[in-house]
């Protein structure tokens, strides 16, 4: 069998894709990169916003046409598969295999029966499974928990992924050891709310560390870089900030979603914290991690958001001075309280506010990135950029960075880079040798390389 997995959504879905791909390989399947080559196409879906759902619907329509022309097994997994909306879609488009987020290890039984498999349960044993480490990659995701015990009014995650289940620390460290043995240099700890690790359904788990303690444990493993995503301010503690500051392997990039700067909107979202409480966490982070690179999530146009509420969000952005932000127009999702009880704002209002926020974000990102010009950053270079004469990667502050290939540094790895130019969304630099001097650049033979070498073109 030739199989391919098409992934939508968050980093948790990317991790789940790797897990289920390892299951498929163990069953004897050959993984292919193209839907056209595959006998089995599995869609790993997201239901948090409407756009990924529409992408799934469109692809399922195309696959139904392919099934009419040749033998093809189509599967759907992930958050959308857990919802009635997704199950109706599966019936309409003749999906053969349906797996909920907690049933990924049942892919073999589903394919063996070759019937619709409605395995929509949450299974704790999924956490004990150690997938094989990715080969040839310097980065990897490492799940520490699944599900969420919060019930934000806009969020479908508690419905699709169930209540919080923290993974046993022994399993986390075993998987981490396998990643390090495979050459992974940067690990991202994953969870719907990593700050709440070890406290499931309101109860502290015996023998489980706090998230701050887990950070310190992971930092002692020998890994070079550690990041995490995502976190809820309600469960953030100063000990987490202290652990980040005390652990050399921890990246200074910290993602702390705020969603809105208005206390009134935060209450309607059921976020369980105030603007003032959130700013207390920012102060704690800056005290323990002076060079912290701060990122956030913001939802624009939540039902009932007034212009005054939106101005509160803009002022919070200025007060914090975020380096970057993931910004979204509110997307009503069936099955959430906000969909049932609140009236959506007009699309044009939400779009106009998002554009104003994007302008604000670009101004701050340009200012923050410009401050890095002339500094030396440790950059994890993943491989070739669009132009093969260049390598692309990111700093420990998660800034996307491009450098020309240089003698002795023409392959993936972590290298010192002097930043020479920056835009709001990209940095450009020069690779340095052990003596701090620029390494000789390799010859460039393409027009793209010549264009990238010009700061005027890069801007």
Share of the chain above pLDDT 70, in %: 90
5-14, 42-51, 287-296: range with highest mean pLDDT: 287-296
Task: Give φ, ψ of 351 to 5 degrees.
Answer: -65, -45
Which run of H or of E encompasses 62?
helix 50-67
Domain extent listing, the chain:
2-119, 124-367, 376-458
Q: Which residues, other chains included, contact 413 with Cβ-Cβ below 8 Å and sequence gap of 6+?
A: 138, 185, 380, 381
pLDDT of 247 reads 98
Q: Is the pLDDT reported for residue 379 higher than 60?
A: yes
Nearest to 188 by CA among 436, 417, 18: 18
The string of pLDDT tens digits covering residues 121-139 is: 444 455 566 766 777 889 9
Q: What's the rounded Cα separation, in Å, for the pair 236 and 152?
A: 16
pLDDT of 125 reads 52
- 152 belongs to an annotated ligand binding site: yes
Q: What's the rounded Cα separation, in Å, for the pair 156 and 104?
A: 19
Q: Is the pLDDT reported for residue 449 higher than 50?
A: no
Q: What's the rounded Cα separation, in Å, for the pair 295 and 297?
A: 7
The string of pLDDT tens digits covering residues 224-271 is: 999 999 899 999 999 999 999 999 999 999 999 999 999 999 999 999
Lowest mean pLDDT among 87-101, 311-325, 392-406: 87-101
- For 146-150, what is the mean pLDDT? 91
Q: Do 2 and 40 touch, CB atoms closer than 8 A?
A: yes
pLDDT of 152 reads 96
Place of tokens 């460039």: 444
Mean pLDDT of the chain: 89
Residues in the chain: 459
- 251 belongs to an annotated ligand binding site: no
- Extended beta strands in 192-281, E state: 199-200, 203-204, 225-229, 253-255
Task: Give φ, ψ of 30 to 5 degrees.
Answer: -100, 125
- Give the right CATH number for 376-458 from 2.30.30, 1.10.3470, 2.60.40, 2.40.50: 2.40.50
Share of the chain above pLDDT 90, in %: 65
Q: What's the rounded Cα separation, in Å, for the pair 412 and 407?
A: 13
- Give the right CATH number for 124-367 from 3.60.9.10, 3.30.360.10, 3.40.50.300, 3.80.30.20: 3.80.30.20
pLDDT of 118 reads 42
Beta bridge partners of 31: 3
CATH superfamily, with its number, for domain 2-119: Flavodoxin domain (3.40.50.360)
pTM of this prediction?
Answer: 0.81
Q: What's the rounded Cα separation, in Å, for the pair 218 and 100?
A: 29
Nearest to 259 by CA among 316, 315, 298: 298
307-320 and 347-370 helices, crossing angle to 10°:
10
Lowest mean pLDDT among 158-172, 241-255, 302-316, 348-362: 158-172
pLDDT of 445 reads 58
- For 191-200, what is the mean pLDDT? 94
Nearest to 395 by CA among 412, 424, 417, 422: 417
pLDDT of 113 reads 63
Per DSSP, the three-state class of 129 is coil
pLDDT of 420 reads 97
- Extended beta strands in 66-209, E state: 73-78, 97-99, 118-119, 139-143, 145-146, 165-166, 186-190, 199-200, 203-204
The string of pLDDT tens digits covering residues 68-93 is: 999 899 989 888 888 888 889 999 99
Q: What's the rounded Cα separation, in Å, for the pair 70 and 115?
A: 17
């Amino acid at each position: 069998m030739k199989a391919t997995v098409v992934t939508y959504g968050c980093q948790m879905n990317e991790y789940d894709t790797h897990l289920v791909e390892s299951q498929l390989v163990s069953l004897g399947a050959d993984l292919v990169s193209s839907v056209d080559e595959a006998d089995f196409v599995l869609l790993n879906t997201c239901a948090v916003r409407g756009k990924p759902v529409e992408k799934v619907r469109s692809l399922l329509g195309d696959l139904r046409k392919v099934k009419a022309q040749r033998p093809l097994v189509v599967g759907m997994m992930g958050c959308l598969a857990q919802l009635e909306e997704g199950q109706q879609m599966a019936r309409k488009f003749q999906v053969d295999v349906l797996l909920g987020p907690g049933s990924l290890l049942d892919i073999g039984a589903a394919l063996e029966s070759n019937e619709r498999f409605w395995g929509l349960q949450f299974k704790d044993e999924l956490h004990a499974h150690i997938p094989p480490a990715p080969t040839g990659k310097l980065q990897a995701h490492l799940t520490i928990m699944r599900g969420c015990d919060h019930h934000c009014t806009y969020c479908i995650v508690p419905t699709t992924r169930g209540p919080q289940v923290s993974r046993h620390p022994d399993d986390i460290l075993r998987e981490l050891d396998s990643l390090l043995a495979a050459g992974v240099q940067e690990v991202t700890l994953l969870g719907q709310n990593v700050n709440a690790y070890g406290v499931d359904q309101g109860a502290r788990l015996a023998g489980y560390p706090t998230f701050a303690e887990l950070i310190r444990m992971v930092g002692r493993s020998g890994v070079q870089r550690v990041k995490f995503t995502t976190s809820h301010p309600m469960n953030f503690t100063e000990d987490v900030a202290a652990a980040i500051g005390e652990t050399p392997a921890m990246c200074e990039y910290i993602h702390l979603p705020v969603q809105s700067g208005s206390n009134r909107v935060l209450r309607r979202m059921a976020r369980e914290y105030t603007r003032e409480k959130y700013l207390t966490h920012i102060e704690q982070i800056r005290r323990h991690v002076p060079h912290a690179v701060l990122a956030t999530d913001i939802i624009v146009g939540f039902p009932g958001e007034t212009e005054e509420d939106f101005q509160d969000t803009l002022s919070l952005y200025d007060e914090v001075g975020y380096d970057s932000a993931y910004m979204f127009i509110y997307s009503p999702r069936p099955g959430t309280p906000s969909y049932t009880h609140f009236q959506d704002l007009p699309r044009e209002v939400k779009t106009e506010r998002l554009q104003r926020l994007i302008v604000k974000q670009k101004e701050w990102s340009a200012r923050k990135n410009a401050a890095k010009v002339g500094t030396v950053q440790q950059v994890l270079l993943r491989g070739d950029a669009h132009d093969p004469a260049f390598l692309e990667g990111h700093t420990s502050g998660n800034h996307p960075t491009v450098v020309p290939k240089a003698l002795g540094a023409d392959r993936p790895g972590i290298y010192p880079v002097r930043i020479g130019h920056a835009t709001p969304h990209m940095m450009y630099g020069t690779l340095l040798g052990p003596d701090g001097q620029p390494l000789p650049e390799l010859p460039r033979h393409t027009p793209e390389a010549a264009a990238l070498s010009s700061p005027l073109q890069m801007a």
